[in-house]
Structure 1
Amino acid sequence: MNPIEDIITTIRTLFTKQPNTIYEVRIVYQRYANKVNIFFESYKIGQAKRSQQIGRLDDEYRLQIPALAKQIHEATGLTIRTSD
Protein backbone atom coordinates (compact mmCIF):
# COMPACT_ATOMS: atom_id res chain seq x y z
CA MET A 1 0.00 0.00 0.00
CA ASN A 2 1.12 3.53 -0.63
CA PRO A 3 1.28 6.08 2.23
CA ILE A 4 -1.98 7.75 1.22
CA GLU A 5 -3.91 4.48 1.42
CA ASP A 6 -2.33 3.82 4.83
CA ILE A 7 -3.51 7.24 6.04
CA ILE A 8 -7.05 6.64 4.75
CA THR A 9 -7.12 3.26 6.51
CA THR A 10 -5.99 4.90 9.76
CA ILE A 11 -8.68 7.57 9.44
CA ARG A 12 -11.35 4.92 8.95
CA THR A 13 -10.25 3.12 12.13
CA LEU A 14 -10.24 6.36 14.19
CA PHE A 15 -13.60 7.65 12.90
CA THR A 16 -16.12 6.24 15.37
CA LYS A 17 -19.28 8.38 14.88
CA GLN A 18 -20.12 9.61 18.37
CA PRO A 19 -23.06 11.95 19.03
CA ASN A 20 -22.26 15.67 19.20
CA THR A 21 -18.70 15.07 18.00
CA ILE A 22 -17.04 16.84 15.09
CA TYR A 23 -14.32 15.08 13.10
CA GLU A 24 -11.90 16.58 10.60
CA VAL A 25 -8.50 16.04 9.04
CA ARG A 26 -5.86 18.78 8.97
CA ILE A 27 -3.00 18.80 6.46
CA VAL A 28 -0.08 21.05 7.39
CA TYR A 29 3.15 21.74 5.53
CA GLN A 30 6.08 22.30 7.90
CA ARG A 31 8.34 24.54 5.91
CA TYR A 32 11.43 24.23 8.15
CA ALA A 33 11.25 20.44 8.41
CA ASN A 34 10.18 20.06 4.75
CA LYS A 35 7.46 17.60 5.72
CA VAL A 36 3.70 17.34 5.23
CA ASN A 37 1.94 16.33 8.46
CA ILE A 38 -1.56 14.93 8.58
CA PHE A 39 -3.63 15.11 11.76
CA PHE A 40 -6.94 13.52 12.73
CA GLU A 41 -8.89 15.93 14.94
CA SER A 42 -12.07 15.40 16.92
CA TYR A 43 -13.95 17.30 19.56
CA LYS A 44 -17.25 17.22 21.33
CA ILE A 45 -19.22 20.42 21.25
CA GLY A 46 -18.09 22.61 24.15
CA GLN A 47 -14.91 20.63 24.83
CA ALA A 48 -11.27 20.92 23.78
CA LYS A 49 -10.09 19.63 20.41
CA ARG A 50 -8.06 16.42 20.33
CA SER A 51 -5.46 16.15 17.61
CA GLN A 52 -3.50 13.03 16.68
CA GLN A 53 -0.78 12.85 14.03
CA ILE A 54 -1.60 10.04 11.62
CA GLY A 55 0.89 10.64 8.84
CA ARG A 56 4.10 12.40 7.89
CA LEU A 57 4.99 12.67 4.22
CA ASP A 58 8.11 13.89 2.47
CA ASP A 59 8.47 17.29 0.81
CA GLU A 60 7.55 15.82 -2.59
CA TYR A 61 3.88 15.77 -1.49
CA ARG A 62 3.84 19.53 -0.79
CA LEU A 63 2.57 20.45 -4.24
CA GLN A 64 0.02 17.65 -4.11
CA ILE A 65 -1.76 18.89 -0.96
CA PRO A 66 -4.97 20.00 -2.77
CA ALA A 67 -5.21 16.66 -4.61
CA LEU A 68 -4.38 14.80 -1.41
CA ALA A 69 -7.12 16.66 0.47
CA LYS A 70 -9.63 15.84 -2.26
CA GLN A 71 -8.65 12.16 -2.28
CA ILE A 72 -9.00 11.85 1.51
CA HIS A 73 -12.33 13.70 1.49
CA GLU A 74 -13.75 11.47 -1.25
CA ALA A 75 -12.61 8.32 0.57
CA THR A 76 -13.80 9.30 4.06
CA GLY A 77 -16.35 12.11 3.69
CA LEU A 78 -14.66 14.12 6.45
CA THR A 79 -13.89 17.83 6.39
CA ILE A 80 -10.31 18.49 5.30
CA ARG A 81 -8.50 21.65 6.40
CA THR A 82 -5.19 22.69 4.90
CA SER A 83 -2.67 25.32 5.92
CA ASP A 84 0.81 26.20 4.74
Structure 2
Amino acid sequence: MTDTVSLTLKIDPALKETLKNLAQENQTSLSQEVSQRLQLSLSMQEQPAVDNQSLPEESDPQLTASELKQVRALLKKSKKKK
Protein backbone atom coordinates (compact mmCIF):
# COMPACT_ATOMS: atom_id res chain seq x y z
CA MET A 1 0.00 0.00 0.00
CA THR A 2 1.82 3.03 -1.22
CA ASP A 3 -0.95 5.61 -0.81
CA THR A 4 -2.71 5.56 2.53
CA VAL A 5 -5.16 7.87 4.22
CA SER A 6 -6.30 8.20 7.80
CA LEU A 7 -9.68 6.93 8.90
CA THR A 8 -11.21 7.61 12.29
CA LEU A 9 -13.50 4.79 13.31
CA LYS A 10 -15.62 4.12 16.39
CA ILE A 11 -15.82 0.45 17.36
CA ASP A 12 -16.66 -1.62 20.40
CA PRO A 13 -13.75 -1.81 22.88
CA ALA A 14 -13.89 -5.62 22.89
CA LEU A 15 -13.54 -5.68 19.10
CA LYS A 16 -10.54 -3.39 19.34
CA GLU A 17 -8.89 -5.73 21.83
CA THR A 18 -9.58 -8.71 19.60
CA LEU A 19 -8.07 -6.94 16.59
CA LYS A 20 -5.11 -5.83 18.68
CA ASN A 21 -4.46 -9.41 19.81
CA LEU A 22 -4.76 -10.70 16.24
CA ALA A 23 -2.34 -8.04 15.04
CA GLN A 24 0.16 -9.11 17.69
CA GLU A 25 -0.21 -12.77 16.70
CA ASN A 26 0.33 -11.86 13.04
CA GLN A 27 3.18 -9.51 13.91
CA THR A 28 1.54 -6.54 12.20
CA SER A 29 0.27 -3.18 13.33
CA LEU A 30 -3.35 -2.73 14.30
CA SER A 31 -3.80 -0.56 11.22
CA GLN A 32 -2.37 -3.21 8.89
CA GLU A 33 -4.50 -5.94 10.50
CA VAL A 34 -7.72 -3.97 10.07
CA SER A 35 -6.80 -2.97 6.51
CA GLN A 36 -5.99 -6.56 5.48
CA ARG A 37 -9.21 -7.88 7.00
CA LEU A 38 -11.29 -5.23 5.26
CA GLN A 39 -9.63 -5.96 1.93
CA LEU A 40 -10.24 -9.70 2.36
CA SER A 41 -13.87 -9.07 3.29
CA LEU A 42 -14.43 -6.90 0.25
CA SER A 43 -12.66 -9.26 -2.15
CA MET A 44 -14.88 -12.12 -0.99
CA GLN A 45 -17.97 -10.08 -1.88
CA GLU A 46 -16.74 -9.60 -5.44
CA GLN A 47 -16.72 -13.34 -6.10
CA PRO A 48 -20.23 -14.76 -6.36
CA ALA A 49 -20.86 -17.61 -3.95
CA VAL A 50 -23.13 -19.39 -6.42
CA ASP A 51 -23.40 -19.75 -10.16
CA ASN A 52 -25.00 -16.53 -11.35
CA GLN A 53 -25.37 -17.45 -15.01
CA SER A 54 -29.07 -18.23 -14.55
CA LEU A 55 -28.59 -21.75 -15.81
CA PRO A 56 -30.97 -24.37 -14.50
CA GLU A 57 -29.43 -26.95 -12.22
CA GLU A 58 -29.09 -30.40 -13.70
CA SER A 59 -30.41 -33.14 -11.52
CA ASP A 60 -29.91 -36.86 -11.83
CA PRO A 61 -33.03 -38.76 -12.80
CA GLN A 62 -34.81 -40.63 -10.02
CA LEU A 63 -34.40 -44.39 -9.77
CA THR A 64 -37.24 -46.44 -11.12
CA ALA A 65 -39.07 -48.84 -8.81
CA SER A 66 -37.25 -51.85 -10.29
CA GLU A 67 -33.84 -50.15 -9.96
CA LEU A 68 -34.61 -49.27 -6.36
CA LYS A 69 -35.58 -52.89 -5.68
CA GLN A 70 -32.27 -54.06 -7.16
CA VAL A 71 -30.29 -51.65 -4.99
CA ARG A 72 -32.10 -52.84 -1.86
CA ALA A 73 -31.40 -56.46 -2.78
CA LEU A 74 -27.70 -55.71 -3.24
CA LEU A 75 -27.58 -53.92 0.12
CA LYS A 76 -29.23 -56.90 1.85
CA LYS A 77 -26.69 -59.26 0.25
CA SER A 78 -23.77 -57.14 1.42
CA LYS A 79 -25.14 -57.06 4.99
CA LYS A 80 -25.53 -60.84 5.05
CA LYS A 81 -21.89 -61.34 3.97
CA LYS A 82 -20.64 -59.42 7.01
TM-score for both structures, normalised by structure 1: 0.22
Give TM-score, length-normalised by structure 2. Answer: 0.23
Structure with more strand by fraction: 1
Structure with greater helix percent? 2
Q: Could you say which structure has the larger radius of gyration?
A: 2
